[in-house]
Amino acid sequence: MIGSVLTVAVGLMLYAQRAGISVAISPSEVRQANIPAGQNFRLFGLVEEGSVERGDGLQVKFVLSDGDEKIAVQFNDILPDLFREKQGIMTEGALHPNGEFVASKVFAKHDENYMPAGVADKLKEKGVWKGGDQ
């Protein structure tokens, strides 16, 4: 039953991307859906405290979590001013074959009003998002 639901969810996600609709999913949903490397999608979650590592130039690595699963994210551009640990963010990009998410865009804002409908609710359901300034 769960497998068929996930199959339908992934199918809808792939259809939506072809139609130009952006779908946002959590780290847990990424793991359950077995999204192939190179497939573009939006990933949301909270930036894990203590996970931000700055590299050469603009390179930064951090971990996104939804309370159940975590995904390492790599980004090589200017981060939004409101990016910080324990902040809910949205990224856009694709999985690398090593399982790391390579983001081409990072979006951050001061509250859940920026997130797509349902995204903040999913984080609240998992108990990892309290809204406002955590």
Band (pLDDT 50/70/90 cuts) for residue 133 is very low
Query: Residue 52: its pLDDT value, please?
Result: 96
Taken in order of first residue, the domains within the chain and their CATH numbers are: 2-125 (2.40.50.140)
Least confident of 15-24, 48-57, 106-115: 15-24
Dist CA 73 CA 51 (whole Å): 10
Q: Which long-range contacts (CB under 8 A, 24 or more apart) does 110-114 make?
A: 110/82, 112/88, 114/90
In eight-state DSSP terms, residue 114 is G
User: pLDDT by residue (tens digit) across 50-72?
Assistant: 999 999 999 999 999 988 899 99
User: For the residues of 5-68, what is the DSSP string, one character each?
Assistant: HHHHHHHHHHHHHHTT---EE-HHHHHHHTPPTT-EEEEEEEEPTT--EE-STTEEEEEEE-SS
Which tokens is 23 given?
């779908």
Checking if the pLDDT of 21 tops 80, the result is no
Q: Which residues pair with 25 in a beta bridge?
A: 43
Closest-CA residue to 72 (of 103, 53, 100, 35): 100
pTM tops 0.85: no
Cα–Cα distance measured from residue 69 to residue 71, given in angstroms and rounded to the nearest whole number: 7
